[in-house]
A and B are shown apart, each in its own frame.
Chain A
Amino acid sequence: MATMTIAKAINEGLRASLKSNPKSLLMGEDIGHLGGVYRVTDGLIKEFGADRVVDSPLAESGIVGTAIGLALRGYAPVCEIQFDGFVYPAFNQITTQLAKIHARSHGRLTVPVVIRIPYGGGIGSIEHHSESPEALFAHTAGLRIISPSNAHDAYWMIQKAIECQDPVIFFEPKRRYWLKGEVDVENAGLSEGPFKAHVVREGTDATIVAYGPLVPVALAAADAAIEDGRSIEVIDLRSISPLDFDTVEASVKKTGRLIVAHEAPTFGGIGGEIAARISERAFLHLEAPVIRVGGFHMPYPVAKVEEDYLPDIDKILEALDRSLAY
């Protein structure tokens, strides 16, 4: 067991993939000598050279589009988009090309491209540096979308993403980059792969589903609920697409109540999808409507007021109160 931050765990995961797969390579702005603005790729250019750790021109569509070409030639490129709000110039390449090449070639071509995106708020940054655009991509068939919430998962999930033959968008919870945790580098453990949810805390009165940056918030809310005598189950979704409804359904059948928390706006978000599916699958087991906790329908607000925007322990507890009142 080694203790490391999430940023370091991704760095080690990338290193392991670069070592084991000579066809893997990293591409992105400032990922070489600088090591990325969050230093996630720190030191990798020294170890693997500029052909494997490519400091690219400043052009997101170019990064993803050339990565597609490299994948078509048999390479396994891992792109870094510097910040969530800068992925939109690459949106066309991701949604009209990357997601569809396997389908439109009748399965003859695969494009195992990984796109790493530091996402989410809570870091007091400026415009376009704090967004959560996962639902925009989840709506597109052909993409897989995952987000680790702890160092162990970060280390293993990035490697599994690179091994996956489908395109994977890897959302990194940037405000948790410095969160330390134990990583078992020998054994992925429970992890049946990166596309399954984990019950990270058992409980009986209600279920909270979260992923990425909100998992620690959900766990803290569950801790706080003990004071009111509530036993709360917490699920770390890990994968946003495919979504592991089986794990969520099993939990809801046990607790009868479901809260979904994410930073992205609730309208049109992943929470709505979970609420709808669970209503279909477990309607008679629900003691209360599924309640969503998320962002407002507004552009991500300025940093000085982001505390009012972001789901926190109190907002989740308020949702729990509402759910338990039924």
Chain B
Amino acid sequence: MGSTQLPPGTDETLAATSAAVAASGEPVEMVQLLGPDGKLGTDPVFSDYAKRIDPEKLRVFYADMARIRRFDQEATALQRQGELALWVPLTGQEAAQIGSAHASQPQDYIFPTYREHGVALVRNVDLAELLKQFRGVSNGGWDPRENNFHLYTLVLAAQTLHAVGYAMGIQRDQKLALASDSNDPKAAVVAYFGDGASSEGDVHESMVFAASYDAPVVFFCQNNHWAISVPTEVQTKVPLANRAKGYGFPGIRVDGNDVIAVHAVTEWALEHAREGRGPVLIEAYTYRVGAHTTADDPTKYRELAEEAAWREKDPLDRLEKYLRTEGLADEAFFEQVQADGDELAKYVRSTTHGLEVPDIRDSFANVYAEAHPLIAEEQAWFEEYSAGFETDQEAAN
């Protein structure tokens, strides 16, 4: 992978890179195609990939970004109203998620962390099911195999190893498929994680394993600048994308607020992985505009001016500018997107209220796949104990 030349219009972004990054002494290159001004630049490698995105696809990108932002607002409101125990907002990261998710194929398997609501949307996960975990009625919610979108993982970085193992499984499957002349499409895995998780040992081990076995995995790090209240500078002294070099595979920093560049870079990386050329690390340089979760308060740990500066780079605004300037979408389109968002919010709200509280018997049922005497014994005790209350109730009546 040759280094990519910076397109015009990125000086401002470069200036905004952290002191830690500057301290590394290495120039930071960042792939950007659609600038904050809504103008499309060029890139020697990735412009070719961007050309594959037709206007219809661009409108889908915009619609998905707008819908997931609307969903995010609704979920935040639901948390504030006591309907969810916690919410993990994604606002600001829509381009990173929608752009990368649209680059994946149905046969690719996705391992999210816990903020990838936009990826879930693109992978056709019912967003109401996604709220089950936050409402306290499930520790998962959806069938991961239905859309090849794994359950959220709350222990940071644990899923990056699962992703590599899964990719090793794909490699073995492909060998078997070759042997049997199967026409199964080639597949890869995407592992999402954040700049905070990049400090976890499991990310390091996953990259060592991926490199050792040339596993078809794309590590997609959303550098949203804050691990709860701790800035990226505390996680790394070098641009995160540069770490890939140390493991022996390509690392690319992409403007994470530029949905076109994110899509182009991820499509390139996934093709690279599917074709058996090994892993890729993508660092999507973005910003979490809201809180880490509804439990923290960003005003306690960062300057409002910083948030404001990033709002200037809003991923939706810049695509809207581009679509309008190029005449690729009219007012009716934007009105429709807004109406669809409100419809989604309404659906999510009503469905959340209707999410059923499970029976603890379901929990007994799924601790083990095979029969287990201790589970049987404890469940029998619970049944008897519960029945005692019913008998008391009958006696009282």
Query: Which residues does A use to contact B, with CB under 8 Å?
Result: 25, 51, 56-57, 59, 61-62, 64-75, 77, 89, 92-93, 96-97, 100, 102-110, 112, 141-142, 144, 164-166, 241-246
Contacts and interface: CB of A to CB of B under 8 A. Distances in A.
17 contacts: A25-B172, A57-B205, A61-B201, A61-B205, A65-B206, A68-B162, A69-B164, A69-B165, A69-B169, A75-B172, A96-B158, A97-B155, A97-B158, A102-B369, A108-B144, A109-B145, A246-B373
B305 interface: no
- Chain B CB within 10 Å, residue with most, of A56, A69, A75, A165: A69
Contacts of A66: 161-162, 164-165, 168, 206, 209
B362 A69 contact: no
Interface residues of B, number: 44
Contact of A68 (B109, B165, B209, B366): B165
A107 B205 CA distance: 28
A105 to B, nearest CB: 5
Interface string B342-367: 00000000000000000000110111
Contact of A166 (B151, B164, B168, B368): B368
Nearest to B374: A242
Interface of B: 109, 138-140, 143-145, 150-151, 153, 155, 158, 160-170, 172-173, 175, 201-202, 205-206, 208-209, 212, 362-363, 365-370, 372-374
A125 B143 CA distance: 47
Contacts of B165: 65-73, 77
A66 B206 CA distance: 8
A69 B162 contact: yes
Given A92-B158, A244-B373, A104 B169 contact: no
B374 A243 contact: yes
Contacts of B209: 56-57, 59, 62, 66
Given A59-B208, A69-B168, A144-B372, 6 more contacts: A65-B164, A66-B164, A72-B169, A108-B143, A166-B372, A242-B374
B215 to A, nearest CB: 9
A109 B144 CA distance: 8
CB-CB nearest 4 A-B residue pairs = A69-B165, A65-B161, A73-B169, A66-B165
Contacts of A75: 169, 172
